[in-house]
Amino acid sequence: MENSILLQNVSKEQLTELIGNVFDTKLKDFQKSQNTKTENDDLLSREQVLELLQINASTLWRYQNNGRIIVYKFANKCFYKRSELMAGLITKK
């Protein structure tokens, strides 16, 4: 009831501007979240992962076989998502 009273006092132009502002704000927030997500989803080569995690090739192979690290293969090359690697890290207390 209160909302309908408020809307009766608002012109069509004001309402259009208000809706446009809300839409623009939500769109910018969505774009920021997508940019953050894609920055963290970059693909790393096998060598980059070994350097990033400071492990050797046999440890990486073991992690893959245990399902601890997900590997993506394209044209006989292995790639890893940075976000998945970072999510797989466990904090110790």
Three-state secondary-structure class, residue 86: helix
Per-residue confidence (pLDDT) for residue 1, from 0 to 100: 47
Q: Label residue 49 exposed, middle or buried (CB < 10 Å: 0-12, 13-18, 19+).
A: buried
- Percentage of the chain exceeding pLDDT 90: 39
Q: Is pLDDT at 26 greater than 70 in this prediction?
A: yes
Answer with the residue of higher pLDDT: 49 or 86. Answer: 49
CA–CA separation, 12 and 55 (whole Å): 63
Catalogue the E-assigned strands of the chain. 43-45, 72-74, 77-81
CB of 80 closer than 8 Å to CB of 70: yes
Q: What is the pLDDT of residues 31-46, one digit of tens each?
A: 777 666 555 578 999 9
> Tokens 């953050």 label which residue?
36
Residue-wise pLDDT for 59-78, tens only, equals 999 999 999 999 999 999 99
